[in-house]
Structure 1
Amino acid sequence: MRFFAANWQFWALLSAIFAAMTAILAKLGVAGINSDLATFIRTIVVAAALGMLLIVTGQFAAPGPIPRRAIVFLILSGLATGASWLCYFRALDIGQAAQVAPVDKLSVVLVAIFGALLLGEHLSLRGWIGIALISLGVVLVAIKG
């Protein structure tokens, strides 16, 4: 079990599974209500669940000094998350989950590009080919026909 706890691939796969469940459950949940209200309800649930997790695991304590730079970037990340969720729920409200979710995952492509441009990260040629194939897949899923 220790292998899984320290294995990023394990956690990334779980993330993908939960993200897939999120799309289907959100599509069902947004039916008949305003998508922004649906996003608000989801956000409350996420905040409450994380709070409970921190309490149960004993991590809900004063973290000590947090660098101002970290706070600024975490606030910006939170705003980006909120904007992403609002847009995602709006898209689910008017589109099919099987089309919305893959287009949303275009974020994978954008992270690779932004990571290279802004963070100096490097992908191999094989990695960039994979990113290109993801892009192609998104286009094929998004095009009606």
Structure 2
Amino acid sequence: MERWIIYAFVSMAFAGFTSVIAKLGLAGISGDLGLTVRTCFVFVFMLCFASLTVPLQDLQLLTWRNVIWLGASAVTTTASWIFYYKAIKAGNVSTVALIDKGSVVIALALSYWILHEAITLPKMLGGLLIVTGLLVISRG
């Protein structure tokens, strides 16, 4: 199995824990405050991670194009997190997390349209199953 696939599964596992742990952390406070505190921790942890793993000479590789696209990604991540935390504060984590995974379908469509990645039959069927699951969840 390729390393990136292992990384994706590890990411999936941590993301699953993240939602449940976040819901516990939101007890008695607003989702906005909880997200702010969490994001401060993420910032510190990422600085520590980068200081241990990113060679200083790599900073020379950073272009304005990188900064602009990563900044745009930060804007969409921020919007996603704001609404995700509002949703898990008010709703069931199990339902919110499943609906949130509908982002896979959006990523599939955008990767085809913008990045010109191939949409294979397995990807198309997987996306269709996700949409079907979203319809089932939203009606129940």
Deviates more, 1:48-57 or 1:31-40: 48-57
Q: Secondary structure at the match of 1:122?
A: coil
| Letter of the 1:61 counterpart | L
Partner of 1:27: 23
Partner of 2:76: 80
Q: Does 1:107 align with 2:121?
A: no
* Structure 1 residue 54 displacement after superposition: 2.0
Match of 1:61 among 56, 61, 64: 56
The two structures have a TM-score, normalised by structure 2, of 0.92
Q: Does 1:45 align with 2:37?
A: no
Aligned residue pairs, count: 139
* Structure 1 residue 74 displacement after superposition: 0.7
Assess, with a 3 A threshold, how the Cα gap between structure 1 residues 31 and 139 changes in structure 2: closer, same or farther: farther
Q: Aligned partners of 1:22 and 1:61: how far apart in 2?
A: 30
Q: Does 1:70 align with 2:54?
A: no
For structure 2, the 5+ residue unaligned runs are none
Q: Secondary structure at the match of 2:56?
A: coil
Q: Aligned partners of 1:19 and 1:86: how far apart in 2?
A: 16
The two structures have a TM-score, normalised by structure 1, of 0.89
Partner of 2:121: 125
Deviates more, 1:64-73 or 1:76-85: 64-73
For structure 1, the 5+ residue unaligned runs are none
Q: Percent identity?
A: 31
* Structure 1 residue 27 displacement after superposition: 1.1
